[in-house]
Amino acid sequence: MTARDELGSGSISSSRRGFLEGGAVALLASVAAIGLPEPSVAKGIDLSEVKGLDVSEVMHLGAGSSGGKATKPLRDCLLNVERVRISTKQLEDTLTNDGAPPGLTGLVKGLIKNYKLDESLQQGAKYIESSGDRNAAASAGREALEYLAQTAEYFPVEVDDRTGATKKLSSEALEFTVNALIATRAKLDLFLSKVPSDALAEARAEIKSEGGDQS
């Protein structure tokens, strides 16, 4: 049985959960080894510079996630987080195989806004019983959000002043963007490893029934 199968069955053991968390940490370590900067806040970058992205929507994650009662259903939170996770893989594949799609920055902003990623991560963390796991999930969620925002922050797609056409990302920008997406997904995986496994299994089954790719 694969790790994904065990998550899907809702019967993941504590030892297997630790293995999955270790896998996410290992993936993050490999990303760090190839030079991806730490999340924006750690580097002192002002996320308000991301055009069209309301900084208030991305800077509060974890502010109250360890206390207070959730007001958003866990199902909705997990559906949103899982769909963003799937989308980062699809976008990574597109970047790797075809280069940057038109409107890359808008696509990234859309993932954050349309799936209410900040709210979904913050509210989803409140359903985690263990305070240690809850805090770890909130931290992972915040960093996932920051990594995803970096794909628009550092290398927005530019328009050629002469022709009006969208300029192609440089090889450096393309590599950074792909690595940021990988780091985002690793952090989301870490977040999801902390939530109730039965609820996660149900959310993934629902997406699968809709024809969603669960890469």
- List the domain boundaries for the chain: 3-209
Task: Quote the distance between the C-alpha of residue 148 and its chain's center.
Answer: 6
98: confidence class by pLDDT, cuts 50, 70, 90: confident
Mean pLDDT computed over 47-61? 41
Minimum mean pLDDT range among 37-46, 117-126, 128-137, 204-213: 37-46
Supply the pLDDT for residue 160: 63
d(C-alpha 187, C-alpha 46), whole Å: 21
71: confidence class by pLDDT, cuts 50, 70, 90: very high
Tell me if the domain spanning 3-209 has CATH number 1.20.1420: yes
Residue 32 above 90 pLDDT? no
211: confidence class by pLDDT, cuts 50, 70, 90: confident
What is the b/e burial string over 182-210, where b = at least 16 CB atoms within 10 angstroms of the residue's CB?
Answer: bbbbbbbbbbbbbbebebbbbbbeebeee
Q: Report pTM.
A: 0.69
**C-beta of residue 141 within 8 angstroms of C-beta of residue 189:** no
Question: 165-209, pLDDT tens digit by residue?
Answer: 666 777 888 888 899 999 999 999 999 999 999 999 999 999 999
- Of residues 117 and 4, more confidence is placed in 117
Burial degree of 77 (CB within 10 A; 0-12, 13-18, 19+): buried
d(C-alpha 18, C-alpha 160), whole Å: 48
Supply the pLDDT for residue 48: 38
Residue 23 above 60 pLDDT? no
Task: Give percent of the chain above pLDDT 70.
Answer: 60
d(C-alpha 150, C-alpha 129), whole Å: 31
Tokens of 44: 């002192």
